[in-house]
Structure 1
Amino acid sequence: MRGTAVGIVGASRANRGFLVRTLAFVFLATFLWLQLHVINLTVRDWSNQPVVNESLYALVPQELHRFLKERRNNTYTQSFINGTLVASGSVGSSGSDDIGEREIAEIRRQVERVNAEQRVFNIEAFGPLASDVPVIVVQVHDRLTYLRHLIISLAQAKGIEQTLLIFSHDVWNPDINYLIQNVDFCRVMQIYYPYSIQMYPKIFPGESPNDCPRNMRKEQAMNLGCTNAQYPDLYGHYREAKFTQTKHHWWWKANRVFDQLTIMRNHTGVVLFLEEDHYVAEDFLHVLRLMEHTCRHSCERCNVLSLGTYLKTYNYYADFSKKKELLRGLKRQESASGGSPIRQGQEGDSTPLSNRGQQLASAPSWAYQLLPGLYQHYQKAEVIPWISSKHNMGMALNRATWEKLRRCAAQFCLYDDYNWDWSLQHVAQTCLPPSRGAGVAPRVDSGLITMMMRAPRVFHIGECGVHHKKENCESTTVIAKIQKVLRSAQNNLYPSQLTLTVASISKRTKLRKGNGGWGDVRDHELCLNMTALPELQLLS
């Protein structure tokens, strides 16, 4: 009997020991899992951007490497947002799917505060803004790598210290804020589009649960009773917030800069519109001022200046209207080099001039082996009616032109096209009176007449965006090729004067249907109210 009792006690102790060991193991495993989870949270990349790689550093002067450095992401890191410290983990996602209502409310409060303050950074170093200097406005979404290189190119521009650089955001992002607030080469201001999808992810202007699906037929939508059932676009589709936001942002930004910022109250110069995936030549401000001067003296009806073009459609060799002119340039180069043929291929290439001329004339857009003797068009500008697909990059206009555009708010805001540039062309064709004045004139009347540099000073480096998605959106290839162009053209930058030519357009561009995506009456009202009611508040 006693032996049996001892056996029971021993078994009980063994069971307790096993239970204790099991609990200890579970506790240890749970502790380790929590530690790993915390570490993962502390290093979370809110900007959804890859770490800057070494190939990017190779494209940037060493003294500007500071603009490539990442903000440290951990729980102890805080982000200076216009003078206020905000924990990096609390706000700042580039999207809205992974942030909660409290964080969204905090972003709204910060945006309201920053927009009300209108703080200008570096004004102590550079002094008050002169009334006639260019103001540069950059529309920013969330592509941090492209924005870094735009800022780096701006830092190298001659005369940049005289300007005001305004960044207009539709995403609150601590990494982007950190980058911008480290810009020290000119005056800087940040403004925030206050009706962004990030701040209104589940109600208009975002997409509310009761919105009609894009491809639903109107009859089905009416039966379903979804919010915007009565307002499909021209093609029978319903709105998508991610596409409508860009047009809203552009119109709000223009209204904000020209009509609502205190620092712009007495500004008489031009406002240059850029985007986060642009890149500028070092002489872009010199050329912009030269274009302003040329407008006043030789083309009074030119009311838009265009510094950019899309390189994939720009061929430096094909810029000559006749092959003979190209061949004459080749012959001049051959004479200047002592009669030796110009080599375009491997050493020993003896391709006849006529054949080489044909090869060059048909060279692809990315062939950047430019000949110095063919750079004459670096000081040429073309006068042409404004065309949205050609003249929307590096576009500059003054207050007089803006006031005419603002009076056409209805034509801009009601036109069924989600693109701001197509909407602007519609305004030029239907609302603005033909631009008049002395000097060079295009053959076709238009409300917007642009003076466009034949050789661009603003370039597009974005491989991905709203319409285009690729596996590698951070390629350095485009940036490297643009830098090669600018190095080749170094001796032909900073022209002393411009030569104007008139585009050979004999017919007015036909009025066309919009691209759709803008049929919802709520978008119309929001857009119109940005001009009529600058302090518009949305119901949350």
Structure 2
Amino acid sequence: MYRLTRPPQFIKVSAHFRLVVCERNSIAEQVRNYMTYSELLLHHIHSWSLQTEFVPKHVRRYLKFNEKFKFPPKKLSSSDLNSLTSRVEVLNYERQVQHVQRYGLVRADVTMLVVQVSRDAERLQYLIVSLSQVHYIQSVLLVFSHSYYDEKINKLVQSITFARVLQIFYPYSLQLYPNKFPGVDVEDCASAAGATDKYCSNRDARRVEHKHHWWWKACFIFNNLDWSDSYTGTVLFLEEDNYVLPDLLYMLRYTSRAQTYIPGIYIMAFGRPFAKNLDYDLLTVDSWHPPFDIGIAFNKSVWQRISTVSSYYCMYDDVSWSYSMLNLFSRFREGQAGMVATQAPRVLSTSMFPSGRIAVQKIYGWIKEARMFPANVKAVALYSSTGRVGNSPKLPPQGNGGWSDMRDHLLCLDPLMSTTTGAMNELTATTIVPTTTTEAQFLTMAEHSINISDVEIRQLL
């Protein structure tokens, strides 16, 4: 009878599987073991191919987290919290930009893509993969604003080599304040089980952090960077569960040009729920409202307008940052914020899928027939005799709740205390009335052809 005295050599091919063969096993049992191992190995290889089949080989190195990855619970001691708080303060003060030697110093007109990052590293890695495939990405500054400090996420972001990168850290996060406001206050109703004190605050710190973080990072970007005082570029806001298309920056140049042609436009929007048969060469003009809160962009002049009415964001009883912005925009002189948006989205959300990998597979199926990088782009707006026609978003009079704690209001307002008293460079809107003798309700179509050559786009970037 033949016996194997050691496992076969090919067992070392993968560290994920181990085959143990006892010396007394029969040859038939050993063969079955080998077949089982081979099936497992083939399944492992097949699973990896599914994970990477839509990702170009040269950027697969950014795929470091599988679908089941979760950060383990970690309770920091008082000394650890103090050390981490100091670390965050230093990093926000230094504001170190990576890769300036390769891509040049940051100019005051640079386009910034600002990503809000929490703990979903698996989806974040696919956003980075998508950013690496965006044309002209080497010309922008990628800013990652973190609400959770972890070396694994930091190393992932620091491994980016296709653009300049800056990391900033939200200093009032739940991680840094685990047992007190602005984190999880144990005396809040949402935290104290069975609390009966009618004066306790029904506040969920896990929900309000996102709204706080969104506002804080916008304040930081427009007010606290070295070039903020003279900044003339555009900031495009993303989140860790977004996925961007390769012609995002290409279309940003068109929307910027549309802004100069069409009066009263403050917001550029690149995301919306995906739908079939959308035109990739069409820009639409409307009033900004959710669900156009994915991939919005604006410049510092618009931010200065926003700052003057900041209380309508910070004191609006709605835990959603997007509906709080909608309330704020309703206080503009026009009663809304004009928007130019790509009809076919260039920023998609992966949050509706169980994982980033599954989302990317679906997205590739959606866009395989997409006609990106259109040679001709049209911006379409509807006008009546009283001006441009757009949707009038309806707002709940008191918001949807979750943001009634005065401490949150004050914390939100605080970053703007020193910036809202200066002179504001307000944008003005001119009402265009079509020259027609028909009734006031008759709508005319205004199309602006905004054609820019590839050479011009490079110069603008």
TM-score clears 0.5: yes
Indicate the residue corresponding to 1:423 in structure 2.
324
TM-superposition CA deviations, 1:129-158 (whole Å, max 9, x none)? 233332110000011111111111111111
CA distance in 2, matches of 1:104, 1:533: 28
CA distance in 1, matches of 2:361, 2:145: 27
Indicate the residue corresponding to 1:118 in structure 2.
95
Among 450, 466, 486, the alignment partner of 2:339 is: 450
CA distance in 2, matches of 1:506, 1:463: 28
Unpaired runs of at least 5, structure 1: 1-51, 72-92, 223-227, 233-237, 320-376, 435-445, 465-472, 535-540
CA contact (8 A) 2:283 2:377 kept: no
CA distance in 1, matches of 2:366, 2:304: 37
Q: Write the letter of the residue equivalent to 1:309.
A: R
Q: Write the letter of the residue equivalent to 1:306.
A: A
TM-superposition CA deviations, 1:75-108 (whole Å, max 9, x none)? xxxxxxxxxxxxxxxxxx9577533222222211
Matching of residue 407 in structure 1 with residue 288 in structure 2:
no
CA contact (8 A) 1:94 1:172 kept: no
1:494 shift after superposition: 3.6
Indicate how the Cα distance of structure 1 residues 217 and 404 shifts in structure 2: closer, same or farther if over 3 A, else same: farther
Indicate the residue corresponding to 2:197 in structure 1.
221
Q: Write the letter of the residue equivalent to 1:511.
A: L
Q: Write the letter of the residue equivalent to 1:288.
A: L
CA contact (8 A) 1:164 1:186 kept: yes
CA contact (8 A) 1:279 1:459 kept: yes
Indicate the residue corresponding to 2:291 in structure 1.
390
TM-score (norm: length of structure 1): 0.64
Among 61, 81, 86, the alignment partner of 2:56 is: 61
Q: Greater CA radius of gyration, 1 or 2?
A: 1
CA distance in 1, matches of 2:240, 2:375: 27
Superposed, which structure 2 residues align to 1:199-278 within 5 Å?
199-213=176-190, 220-222=196-198, 229=200, 238-278=202-242
Indicate the residue corresponding to 1:281 in structure 2.
245
1:216 shift after superposition: 8.6
CA distance in 2, matches of 1:451, 1:95: 42
CA distance in 1, matches of 2:297, 2:86: 32
1:510 shift after superposition: 3.1
Q: Write the letter of the residue equivalent to 2:203.
A: R
Among 399, 403, 426, the alignment partner of 1:514 is: 399
Indicate how the Cα distance of structure 1 residues 506 and 421 shifts in structure 2: closer, same or farther if over 3 A, else same: closer
CA contact (8 A) 1:308 1:459 kept: yes
Matching of residue 379 in structure 1 with residue 356 in structure 2:
no
Indicate the residue corresponding to 1:107 in structure 2.
84
Q: Write the letter of the residue equivalent to 1:455.
A: A
Among 268, 272, 277, the alignment partner of 1:305 is: 268
Aligned residue pairs: how many?
365
CA contact (8 A) 1:154 1:280 kept: yes
Indicate the residue corresponding to 1:36 in structure 2.
none
| Greater share of residues in helix | 1
CA distance in 2, matches of 1:100, 1:463: 36
SS of the counterpart of 1:158?
Answer: coil
Question: What is the Cα-based RMSD across aligned positions, in Å?
Answer: 2.5
Q: Write the letter of the residue equivalent to 1:501.
A: A
Among 487, 493, 500, the alignment partner of 2:368 is: 487
**Structure 1 range deviating more: 257-266 or 475-484:** 475-484
Indicate how the Cα distance of structure 1 residues 184 and 252 shifts in structure 2: closer, same or farther if over 3 A, else same: same
Matching of residue 173 in structure 1 with residue 136 in structure 2:
no
SS of the counterpart of 1:286?
Answer: helix
**Structure 1 range deviating more: 263-272 or 188-197:** 263-272
SS of the counterpart of 1:221?
Answer: coil
CA distance in 1, matches of 2:294, 2:190: 32
Matching of residue 461 in structure 1 with residue 350 in structure 2:
yes
CA distance in 1, matches of 2:160, 2:83: 25
Indicate how the Cα distance of structure 1 residues 447 and 96 shifts in structure 2: closer, same or farther if over 3 A, else same: farther
Among 365, 376, 395, the alignment partner of 1:496 is: 376
SS of the counterpart of 2:87?
Answer: helix
Q: Write the letter of the residue equivalent to 1:56.
A: Q
TM-score (norm: length of structure 2): 0.74
Superposed, which structure 2 residues align to 1:309-320 within 5 Å?
309-311=272-274, 315-317=275-277
CA contact (8 A) 1:96 1:198 kept: no
SS of the counterpart of 1:168?
Answer: strand
After TM superposition, which residue ranges in structure 1, 4 or more long, deviate above 6 angstroms?
A: 214-218, 503-507
Indicate the residue corresponding to 1:161 in structure 2.
138
CA distance in 2, matches of 1:518, 1:475: 30
CA distance in 2, matches of 1:296, 1:506: 19
Matching of residue 432 in structure 1 with residue 332 in structure 2:
yes
CA distance in 2, matches of 1:495, 1:197: 47
Indicate how the Cα distance of structure 1 residues 200 and 139 shifts in structure 2: closer, same or farther if over 3 A, else same: same
SS of the counterpart of 2:268?
Answer: strand
CA contact (8 A) 2:286 2:390 kept: no
**Structure 1 range deviating more: 190-199 or 128-137:** 128-137
TM-superposition CA deviations, 1:229-265 (whole Å, max 9, x none)? 3xx5xxxxx1000000001000100000001111333
TM-superposition CA deviations, 1:278-322 (whole Å, max 9, x none)? 11110100100111012112x1211100001122xxx324x6xxx
CA contact (8 A) 1:382 1:502 kept: no
Indicate the residue corresponding to 1:45 in structure 2.
none
Q: Write the letter of the residue equivalent to 2:55.
A: V
Superposed, which structure 2 residues align to 1:1-20 within 5 Å?
none
Q: Write the letter of the residue equivalent to 1:307.
A: F
Superposed, which structure 2 residues align to 1:87-106 within 5 Å?
94=71, 97-106=74-83
Indicate the residue corresponding to 2:415 in structure 1.
530
CA distance in 1, matches of 2:356, 2:267: 32
CA contact (8 A) 1:94 1:173 kept: no
SS of the counterpart of 1:177?
Answer: helix
CA contact (8 A) 1:287 1:495 kept: no
Indicate the residue corresponding to 1:291 in structure 2.
255
Q: Write the letter of the residue equivalent to 1:302.
A: I
Q: Write the letter of the residue equivalent to 1:425.
A: L
Indicate the residue corresponding to 1:37 in structure 2.
none
1:59 shift after superposition: 2.0
TM-superposition CA deviations, 1:22-64 (whole Å, max 9, x none)? xxxxxxxxxxxxxxxxxxxxxxxxxxxxxx9542222211111
SS of the counterpart of 1:488?
Answer: coil
Q: Write the letter of the residue equivalent to 2:59.
A: L
Indicate how the Cα distance of structure 1 residues 212 and 477 shifts in structure 2: closer, same or farther if over 3 A, else same: closer
TM-superposition CA deviations, 1:390-444 (whole Å, max 9, x none)? 2100100011111011111111111000111000001111x2211xxxxxxxxxx
Indicate the residue corresponding to 2:450 in structure 1.
none
Matching of residue 477 in structure 1 with residue 378 in structure 2:
no
1:499 shift after superposition: 3.0
**Structure 1 range deviating more: 377-386 or 248-257:** 377-386
Among 159, 169, 178, the alignment partner of 1:192 is: 169
